[in-house]
Chain A
Amino acid sequence: DGGITQSPKYLFRKEGQNVTLSCEQNLNHDAMYWYRQDPGQGLRLIYYSQIVNDFQKGDIAEGYSVSREKKESFPLTVTSAQKNPTAFYLCASSPGQPVTEAFFGQGTRLTVV
């Protein structure tokens, strides 16, 4: 089945730790995205990548880092510099041109303990 897989579903982080969220897609999409969702709010764009080995900051990139070494993979690292990382993180992909549909993974819920 084609789709986007995020792992893990739940993740707990201690203060001061870096954690990496996984996002893999087998849709052969060029573009991939990371969003953060806080309770009762919409999605805010963290980073996006329109092609392998290239990515751009979104609206709330501070405290996060990404890589795009393979077309199918776009991992997100939440660093210790992110002061309020507890949130629901969503990964998406699209064929990469404007006027195309975005497809989402099932999300990772990150909690700082």
Chain B
Amino acid sequence: KQEVTQIPAALSVPEGENLVLNCSFTDSAIYNLQWFRQDPGKGLTSLLLIQSSQREQTSGRLNASLDKSSGRSTLYIAASQPGDSATYLCAVEGPNAGKSTFGDGTTLTVKP
């Protein structure tokens, strides 16, 4: 059974810092890995999708990497802003197609 772990569970940083969020998974037979953002009481917004054949994806200040063999992904946020404060979740699709497993998330607070 696929298991996804996100460390740390919570993170507080001052505005302007660069930071890294971690996601690890137990079964490397995945189709893709997706990073989401969730604001309190809201749905999920997709940030980045990395296919199993890719090593990284970038969007603006966000960069996500994937190392399938070691079962790890990182989300790098550059020059953090208070508006980045949210919970960040990673989800892995596989080994069963169409079935994703989510981590418990990292709650980020960026202080002005």
Interface residues of A (CB under 8 A from B): 6, 31, 33, 35, 40-45, 48, 50, 58, 88, 90, 92, 96, 98-107, 109
Complex Cα gap A41–B89 (Å)? 10
CB contact under 8 A between A107 and B31, given known A42-B4, A96-B98, A99-B51: no
Residues of B within 8 A of A100 (CB): 32, 49
Interface size on B, residues (CB 8 A): 28
How many contacting A-B pairs (Cβ < 8 A)? 65
Q: Nearest residue in A to B5 (C-beta to C-beta)?
A: A42
Interface residues of B (CB under 8 A from A): 4, 6, 31-32, 34, 36, 41-46, 49, 51-52, 89, 91, 93-94, 97-105
Contact (Cβ within 8 A) A107 B99: no
Contact (Cβ within 8 A) B104 A41: yes
Of all A-B residue pairs in the complex, the 9 with the closest CB atoms, nearest first, are A42-B102, A98-B31, A104-B43, A104-B44, A43-B102, A106-B43, A42-B104, A98-B97, A99-B51
